Structure 1
Amino acid sequence: MIKNFKWLFLVSLTFVACTNNDDAVVEEPVSAGTANFSKYVALGDSFAAGYSDGALFIEGQKGAYPNLLSQQFAAAGGGTFTTPLMADNVGGLLLGGNVIAAKRMYFNGSAPVTVSGTTSTEVSTKVSGPFNNLGVPGAKSYHLVAAGYGNVAGVAGGLANPYFARFSTSATTTVLSDALAQSPTFFSLWIGGNDVLGYATSGGVGVNQTGNNNPATYGANDITDPGVFAYVYNSLITNLTANGAKGVVANLPYVSTLPYFTTVPYNPLTTSVLGSGNTAVGQATISALNTQLYGPLKSALTYLGAGDRINLLSTTASNPLLIKDESITNLSAQLTAVLTPTLGAQTAAFYGAIYGQARQATATDLVLLPTQSVIGTAPTASNSGLGIAPPSPLNKFGITFPLQDAHVLIPVEIDAIKVATDAYNSSIRAIADAKGLAFVDAKAIMTQLSTTGIVSNSFTMTTTYVTGGAFSLDGIHPSPRGYGLIANAFIDAINSKYTSTLKKHDLGKYRILFPSSL
């Protein structure tokens, strides 16, 4: 009934040429100011590591913002900056020869697809450090101080991180310990995004652990308690600055503003979509749906005082998706009772189970990027929420069967993410100010990207998926140009705080997406 949505624009991968100027320009000498960049270490998560297009790979790592910072530090006394490079540009990970992480994506002109080639990065093959770039994809705040987080033996059971396991100095060390062992004179720390990201990308399936100060009891998709975050963050900064090192930190944008959550519309069901490109078929489909499903549901719910949950589909407007909202009153029993006289007890009970917490999506809901490929497909026993695969015609996700919790972020979940993020940011700013550190307002940058856009050279960077220039194809991590933008924001903060005169990167020299071959 419904085709996968098509990407509307092709992407240019060419560089933007710089304008030549024959007039001599006297440039200000590069200076470190009051900072000392001779030994720089970077702590963080996938953003620090250079993760992009759904994977970690060599060229992405080279363009990570800490690596870009180190290039500019070099002109102001910065020393060698080392990175635990992956084995290839394919991406993905192997553990004992078995694939445990997927390869990177590229845009083929119509849609994101996986690159060809074979993953060759084996987790158990340790790379020799120590390394200045300690960015660890998947790391939450408390993972940076967790002993054993880099233990290869713990990877299979989820007790350790495969990326850190490749380059940790020992099975019992911590990310922080490996940083301090290098006696840094300058550091960057950007951490906390993953403390809410897993919850967000799971559609809010995880648990909001606010009030629980024991991370050992947390699940992978849980929201970290703000008190735990504050304690860990303070410990990180206290240790990093103990011997006089200066540094730069960044706060956190709302992850719900990332393209992963803003690309798929809440109301994509037009006559063309429902008719697979044939509007006449779409009109007939809508008529049938209104008569056989939406109309009866609307009547029953109106009788129960919840008629606003479902409205008839329109043949002239874009219609919203059908979703499950676990935050609203479950009317399964009441619906069953109302529908029994016309449908019979067994069928009415089935309808009650399906639609007891169903409603149509609104603009306040966020449909996850992967849900795009789910809309219109048949639920299975494992993802229907019922334990069985529903029969036709109640077997089209988002149309006749509600999208489930894992497919959509609803307002209460979005609010939980914002509340936690605000608390984290309050701690980050307070600790940064107390220790006299440079501060990057990444939240403000993301707000600008997602609203007016950021103008640089002759282009405007936005959060628009594929074509916006700031984000990669996974909808979460930056593009090469996006990493350049981040590096420049860090440089601005460093220059402002430490009276240094570091040069910024020319963003026009960076691609907006990686090609298929590198």
Structure 2
Amino acid sequence: MKNTKYILVLSALIGFTSCNEIEDVNRDEAAEVLPELTSGSADFTTYVSLGASFTAGYTDGALFMAGQNNSFPNILANQFAGVGGGDFTQPLTNDNFGGLAAGGTRIAEPRLVFGGSTPVPLESVVGPVTVSTDIVLNNPTGPFSNLGVPGAKSFHLLSDSYGSLAGVGSYANPYFVRMASSPSATMLGDAMAQSPTFFTLSEMGANDVLSFAVSGGSGVDQKENLDPSTYGSNDITDPNVFASVFSNLVTTLTSGGAKGVVTNVPYITDLPHFTTVPYNPIPLDAGTASFLNSVAAYGTYNGGLQQAYAALQGSGLFTAEEVAKRTIKFVEGQNAVVIIDEDLTDLGAINSAFAEIPKYRQATADDLLVLSSSSFIGTEAIPGNAQSINGVAVPLADQWVLTPEEQLAIKEATDAYNVTIKAVSDANDNIALVDLNTILSELATTGILYGDYTLNASLVTGGAVSLDGIHLTARGYSYMAYKFLEAIDTSFGANFIDSGNVPNPGDYPTNYAPTLQ
């Protein structure tokens, strides 16, 4: 087979962020007199943040000190300090490499960096590093104001085994092991033990669908350089379970009179992790396309489809539309990858004579390929065999693709979660709501003007989403903090925005240098 080394999905992405030049201005010429900062009815004396990766400051596929210091809760705490906010403590990692170890054995990889055209592992640029954050040897001592745990699903906040070292690798989370007050502590319990006067509860529901999404809806672990969102089952959390858990969380957190801000769940399929890799990344010459269409390749498969249709015609069980959908045809020029689609008709279940016909089809623009597929498509399933190219001669397994049916399942769950979140927040005067769903939608479409910068959701160049395609950049987290302050002003009568007590987006980078240690 010729021309089979063909995919460099991200090679056209250059630069780091879509930013506008900041104009030099003489700020002394027309200094605006701003009102004095007030907190309204909110009490920021003891602020505790509960959540998952975004809350922790996870970015570029890892948790590391610089990212934690630029987490949105830490940015908020800096603003709260101006109106009586107390100390804000975080379970800082030991370095800026990222990654985790357990007794000297690496269990999570260091961060991603920009490699000139694509995101690449840190060690491919700087060489081997020693991951010094070890959950067996050097856990920090709490209590911690930031209880953001990468990978946490909604119900994990109530689990009394989530911080058990013995359960790491199955039911426990190493990031919570680092910060839990005891092996049987719960995230919610450790928050309430601090008697919070103010809290944020963010991203609840996101990981409840994200683990399903990053595995391509297959249940196969695709954690490569992502947060450990696949600990435990990859199934989408039942909306009824979510509703019970979320209501419990808010009721408990506000039981002592504390006020707080919650967020709804964005449509995660708008993130660049699912939108960057095209469905048709395969350029072929005429000769290679002809070979793939021949009996020696997919010609036999296509012929089997026609035989099955002829035998089942009139039964309504195998339609001409599905035959067309499943027929594989390559052409000179750009071509779609071949995928396995479990939602296609099982022809063997209808007639055993067709049991050997697999569920293959070529991808369409309605399919979403996960970001990690970019380094898999075009590789050889059998090393040294040029006729075993993944995505061409060897169809992509379900783990690499989100089909329309799987995307619909994610959307339906997200919508159900958001109905619950809105109902709970509307019913409680102590709760403000930040609409992350609309924010991500705007980032993915029109972009958002933030200070002197225009942020969008493009990988590498957009400025809002980090190199893993899911989590935010420091500047993205600062915008998130800004929206929290805006919600606090609206719901509780504070005036962070009007008084100018907001993060300066120019203080927060869109990327971290490989040399950061």
Give the TM bin, normalised by the shorter chain: 0.7 to 0.9
**What residue in structure 1 maps to residue 111 of structure 2?**
104
The count of residues paired between Structure 1 and Structure 2 equals: 473
1:253 corresponds in structure 2 to: 266
Q: Which amino acid aligns with 1:434?
A: A
1:415 has 2:417 as partner: no
| One-letter identity of the residue aligned with 2:5 | I
Whether the 8 Å CA contact 2:273–2:469 is kept in 1: the answer is yes
1:199 aligns with: 212
Letter in 1 for 2:178: R
Q: What aligned pairs does 1:20-99 form with structure 2 within 5 A after superposition?
A: 20=25, 21=27, 22-99=29-106
CA distance in 2, matches of 1:45, 1:311: 42
The residue number in structure 2 matching 1:323 is 339
Relative to 1, partners in 2 of residues 1:16 and 1:93: Cα closer, same or farther, differing over 3 Å?
Answer: farther
Instruction: Pick one of 117, 124, 142 that aligns with 1:129.
Output: 142
How has the CA–CA distance of structure 1 residues 313 and 336 changed in structure 2, closer, same or farther, with 3 Å as cutoff? Answer: farther
* Structure 2, unpaired ranges of 5+: 221-230, 310-322
The equivalent of 1:440 in structure 2 is 434
Higher deviation after alignment, 168-177 or 5-14: 5-14
Q: Deviations over 1:191-227 (max 9, x none)?
A: 22111111111111139xxxxxxxxxx9421111111
Which of 179, 183, 186 is the equivalent residue of 1:167? 179
Q: Out of 493, 511, 514, which is 1:516 matched to?
A: 514
Question: What displacement does 1:177 show?
Answer: 0.8
Match of 1:223 in 2: 236
Show the counterpart of 2:197: 185
Match of 1:256, SS state, is helix
Structure 2 match to 1:300: 304
1:406 is aligned to 399
Q: Deviations over 1:341-399 (max 9, x none)?
A: xxxxxxxx8xx3xx51000111111101111111122336xxxxxxxx9x967522211
Aligned mates of 1:80, 1:40 — CA distance in 2: 9
SS for the counterpart of 2:294 is helix
**Alpha-carbon deviation of 1:336?**
9.4
Deviations 1:124-173 (A, max 9, x none): 22211111000001111111111121122322x42321111111111111
Aligned match of 1:214: none
- The answer for the alignment partner of 2:294 in structure 1 is 291
Amino acid at match of 1:123: I
Q: Write the letter of the residue equivalent to 1:67.
A: N
Is residue 7 from structure 1 mapped to residue 11 from structure 2 by the alignment? yes
Distance 1:429 1:379 in 2: 47
Whole-angstrom CA distance in 1 between matches of 2:94 and 2:21: 30
Residue identity in the other structure for 1:56: L
Q: Secondary structure at the match of 1:435?
A: coil
For the 8 Å contact 1:58–1:89, the answer to whether it is kept is yes
Match of 1:505 in 2: 503
Q: Measure, in 2, the Cα distance between the counterparts of 1:39 and 1:63.
A: 19
Q: Which amino acid aligns with 1:247?
A: G
Contact 1:15 1:509 in 2 (8 A): no
Q: Deviations over 1:446-479 (max 9, x none)?
A: 1111111112234321111111111111111101
Q: Which amino acid aligns with 1:315?
A: E
Query: CA–CA distance in 2 between the matches of 1:426 and 1:221?
Result: 22
> C-alpha separation between the residues in 2 aligned to 1:136 and 1:12?
27
Where does residue 320 of structure 2 map in the other structure?
none
Q: Which secondary structure does the structure 1 equivalent of 2:335 belong to?
A: coil
- 1:120 to 2:120 alignment: no
- Paired AA for residue 505 in structure 2: L
**1:142·1:232 contact (CA, 8 Å) conserved in 2?**
yes
- Please say if residues 6 and 282 of structure 2, whose CA atoms lie closer than 8 Å, have aligned partners that are also in contact: no
For 1:430, which of 423, 432, 435 is the aligned residue?
Answer: 423
Matched, 1:366 2:368: yes
SS in 2 for 1:270: strand
Which segments of structure 1 move beyond 6 Å, counting only runs of 4 or more?
A: 333-336
CA drift of 1:107 comes to: 0.3
1:254 is aligned with what amino acid? Y
SS at match of 1:35: coil
The answer to whether the 8 Å contact 1:470/1:479 transfers is yes
Aligned counterparts of 1:219 and 1:121: Cα–Cα separation in 2: 23
Which range moved further: 67-76 or 81-90? 67-76
Query: Is 1:495 aligned to 2:499, yes or no?
Result: no
TM superposition score normalised by structure 2: 0.87
Say whether the 8 Å CA contact 1:82–1:133 is kept in structure 2: yes
Please give the secondary structure, in 1, of the residue aligned with 2:157. Answer: helix
Answer whether contact 1:300 1:335 (CA < 8 A) is retained. no
Partner amino acid for 1:297?
Y
Measure, in 1, the Cα distance between the counterparts of 2:23 and 2:159: 46
Please state whether the residue corresponding to 1:134 is helix, strand or coil: strand
Q: Deviations over 1:244-297 (max 9, x none)?
A: 0000000001111111111101111223xxxxxxxxxx2221122223434443
Q: 1-side partners of 2:289 and 2:152: how far apart?
A: 46
Correspondence for 2:379: 377
Q: Does residue 469 of the first structure (1) align with residue 467 of the second (2)?
A: no
Letter in 1 for 2:12: L
Are the counterparts in 2 of residues 230 and 424 from structure 1 also a CA contact under 8 Å?
Answer: yes
One-letter amino acid matched to 2:371? L
Asked if 2 retains the 8 angstrom alpha-carbon contact of 1:481 and 1:512, the reply is yes
> Taking CA–CA contacts closer than 8 Å with sequence separation of 6 or more, which of the two structures ends up with the larger relative contact order?
2
Report whether the alignment pairs 1:265 with 2:271.
no
- Tell me, yes or no, if the aligned pair for 2:246 and 2:421 is still in contact at 8 Å: yes
Is the alpha carbon distance of 1:16 and 1:90 closer, same or farther for their aligned partners in structure 2, counting shifts above 3 Å? farther
Distance in 1 separating the partners of 2:507 and 2:395? 45
Tell me the distance in 2 between the aligned counterparts of 1:9 and 1:375: 18
Residue 75 of structure 1 deviates from its aligned partner by 1.2
Root-mean-square deviation (CA), in Å?
2.3
2:238 and 2:352 mapped to 1: Cα distance? 40
Answer whether contact 2:161 2:183 (CA < 8 A) is retained.
yes
SS of equivalent residue, structure 1 residue 304? helix
Distance in 2 (alpha carbons) for counterparts of 1:18 and 1:81 = 34
